[in-house]
Amino acid sequence: MDNRVRVLIADGLAESGIEALKKLPQIQLEVHAALERSALKEKIKNTDILVVRSRTKVDKDLLEHISHLKIVLRAGIGLDNVDVPVATEKGVIVMNAPTGNIVTTAEHALALLFSITRNVPQADASLRAGKWEKKLFQGNELRGKTLGLLGLGNIGKVVASRAQGLEMKVCAHDPYVSAESAAKLGIELKSFEDLLAVSDYLSIHVPLIPSTKHLLNEKAFGRMKKGAYLINCARGGIVDETAMLKALDQGILAGAALDVFEQEPLPVDSPLLKRTDLVLTPHLGASTDEAQVQVGLEAAEQIGLYVKEGVLKNAVNVPSISLDQLSVLKPHLLLAERLGGFLAQLASPQKAEKLKVHYAGTVTQYNREVMTLSVLKGFLSPLLSTPVNFVNARNLLKERGIRVEESFESDCPDYNSLIELSLEGDHKVSVAGTLFGKEEPRIVRIDHFNIDAIPQGHLLFTRNVDQPGVIGSLGTVLGGQGVNIARMHLGRDSKKKEAIALINIDSEPSQKAIESLQAIPGMLTVRPIYL
């Protein structure tokens, strides 16, 4: 009987990575350049490790066909095509290869920066059409201009260093980076509004999460410096494309360069394709020979570590610990990560200085270091466009000037165990959770409000004056916007006359729904959250 680990590559891999995998006697390797969906569903039944790039969708439909699958490895940074929550529920470890694409994506952002400011694609097309329109395509110098970076993660930092070499002034907005850390890089931190107002060029480097969906909308474009340029190599959906076209027509934007779109592939009838003030590329940020080689080698290294030593490197839904430890800790790690993600989205975009993690009860008997890493991973993942794992979480938090304080106590009078997180900065925000039964995570307190809520999927957090009519209006607004309420959990403070609601909903709320909720009399806060 062949006991080797069965590895299936569905989307091809750089030859250097394949050769490295062939040297592992512990695996049985099958390679396809572009495996069709029907064949993949059949082959995945007997696969231990599935390696994909961006083409294959590892979704609920595909994961229903697994029986032996242990790992899905995305050969690249982005996990848009992998349903991580469903994989986690199925007990499948999800990994990515996060470092190979950083420089490549940053360089593509710079290529778009040059292209849009010097009209390179337009001039090339004109010349090929037999024209010589030298005056029409006169551009601008980058030297002395202000580059605004929306997000200062790994990719943003590379863009900044290259732009500084071009003698550009670099500013950034990232509420989770300290002014001191940015100053060491020669970068001035600004508020979101101030960054829009001063930037000659605005380059996006944040993840696509509910709070960044259509972050660049009509209101944001109205605050931008007239004649500015927009560059997006992050994710489609961060930019409201309709509002962007309006800003171009109004002269607010002089041009834009996009590598990512709200719908990909870009439809052939898209109005974007008719514009001469846009430079468009088909999601090429990670598409270089060097990046593909690096990603292939990185993926091979991770598989080798797993089959030889049982080590999980760059896992995004479990820490790098042994599989025996994982089976015991898994429910607590899930709770810790979801509490961290909830706190980050609840508190955003306030300035954060200190994150406190407190353990009480039986949970203190387990590996608290790994659980804290789960908290940090959950906290940082919604805030960064670059991947967060259990290896880099502490360093990423430190770079952003956020201190971590951990404490524990064996007594826990109300629950068997409790994990409580507090974020201090502009103001204090806290959340506490526990496990019901052996593995069902629950949020039991938000700030000083007691509650019993399930931290999963699309959520709406609201805070309001405790008065009649608010909850009824809330339900009416969501119903009118076609948003179905799955569960609603309420908490109240009779002394302060305030109340909160944490609502599980079946779909992402639209911006119109959020604005309508905020307009309800007595409504204080509305925050969309996704876990």
Tell me which residue of 98, 104, 103, 97 sits closest to 20, measured CA to CA. 97
Catalytic one of 15, 19, 64, 264: 264
Catalytic one of 108, 205, 283, 368: 283
Question: How far is it, in rounded angstroms, from Cα 129 to Cα 137?
Answer: 14
Does the annotation count 492 as an active-site position? Answer: no
Residue 284's SS3 state is: coil
Q: Where are the alpha helices (DSSP H) in 69-178?
A: 84-89, 102-118, 120-128, 154-165
- Asked if 163 and 117 count as a contact pair (C-beta separation under 8 A), the reply is no
DSSP 421-438: EEEEESS-EEEEEEEETT
Question: How far is it, in rounded angstroms, from Cα 91 to Cα 179?
Answer: 40
Residue type, 73: L
Question: How far is it, in rounded angstroms, from Cα 433 to Cα 455?
Answer: 9
Catalytic one of 53, 214, 235, 368: 235
Question: How is the chain split among helix, strand and coil, in percent rounded to 5?
Answer: 35, 25, 40
DSSP 228-260: EEEEE-S-TTSB-HHHHHHHHHTTSEEEEEES-
Burial (CB count within 10 angstroms: exposed 0-12, middle 13-18, buried 19+), residue 128: exposed
Question: How far is it, in rounded angstroms, from Cα 267 to Cα 502?
Answer: 37
Does the annotation count 264 as an active-site position? Answer: yes
Element (H, E) at 321: none
| Backbone torsions φ then ψ of 232, nearest 5 degrees | -135, 110
- Asked if 424 and 369 count as a contact pair (C-beta separation under 8 A), the reply is no
| Backbone torsions φ then ψ of 461, nearest 5 degrees | -105, 130
Give the angle 386-334-360 at the CA atoms, nearest 5°. Answer: 120
Write out the two tokens for 222: 């109205």
Residue 492's SS3 state is: strand
Burial (CB count within 10 angstroms: exposed 0-12, middle 13-18, buried 19+), residue 422: middle
Give the angle 127-131-133 at the CA atoms, nearest 5°. Answer: 90
Q: Residue 186 carries which DSSP code?
A: T
Does the annotation count 358 as an active-site position? Answer: no
The residues annotated with a catalytic role in the active site are: 235, 264, 283
